[in-house]
Amino acid sequence: MTAGMTVLGVWIAAFLTLAVLSFLFKDNPLYKFAEHLVVGLSAGYWFIVLYNTTFRDLISDPLKADFSSFRLLPQAAGSNIVGNGLILDGIPIVLGLMIWTRFWPKAAWTARIPIAYVLGAGAGLAIPTALDNFVVTPLKATLALPIVPGFWQTWTAQILGATAPAPQLGIGEALSNLLIVIGVFCGIVYFFFSKEHKGVTGATANVGIWILMIGFGSTFGFTVMSRVSLLVGRFEFLLNRWILDSFWRLIFPGH
């Protein structure tokens, strides 16, 4: 990219940043222009990337290669030739085309076949890994958290005449782990609706609410931090790249 193009890019970016920020004052045509531009550009970019990586790479190029050599089956492993043969490349293409039959009522039922395939394969792939990743492994890690501090282990070991296990847990770490265990337990009780939230269950659920509120507060804090980062990033660009690097040098060349 030439220096002139870079400068032009900085000016366009600065103009669009100011156009978006102008919404803080009130809605206006400049803001609308910037908003529509970003939506249009994103859709256009998205279309081109998906066309190249899906239609060209997975459909058009393999089919061209398969037809040109009339191959029915894939080449030997390690071959760099595009295409897996007409049979293997043809099956997903036919399944994909079947989804479009929904536009013709008489043939619409055939669309259920690829949808059933996608749902079946998707569920088969997702359910075991989701359970393992989002439930079983974090739960196992919580259950395995050590919560007995080192001084207690030493003290009981002395009384029982045994050797205290090493490494020993500091009191801060033990409390932190205990808090995680209590938090998980109370949070789960809050979502347990088979028993009325009264008495011990109600008190535990109330602790669960507090734990959830602290979690939401933390998420909100992080969200503010994230948005402020983006805002500071834009002002940093306006001040350093636009005003100092580009604007200033245009007025005072050589400085």
Site residues (vs other proteins, CB under 8 A)? 24-25, 42, 45-46, 49-50, 53-54, 57, 80, 82, 122, 125-126, 129-130, 132-134, 137-138, 140-142, 180, 215, 218-219, 222-236, 239
Between 50 and 94, whose beta carbon lies closer to other proteins?
Answer: 50
For other proteins, give the closer residue by CB, 39 or 94: 39
Q: Cβ closer to other proteins: 75 or 154?
A: 75
Question: Minimum CB separation from other proteins for residue 82, in Å?
Answer: 7
| Residue 99 near residue 112 (C-beta atoms within 8 A) | no
Instruction: Compute the least distance from the CB of residue 175 to other proteins, in Å.
Output: 15
Q: Which residue has the tokens 């492993």?
A: 77
- Indicate the residue among 27 and 155 with the shorter CB distance to other proteins: 27
Distance, in Å, from the CA atom of 11 to the CA atom of 17, rounded to the nearest integer, reads 10
Question: Smallest distance from the beta carbon of 139 to other proteins, in angstroms?
Answer: 9
Smallest gap from Cβ 53 to other proteins, in A, equals 6
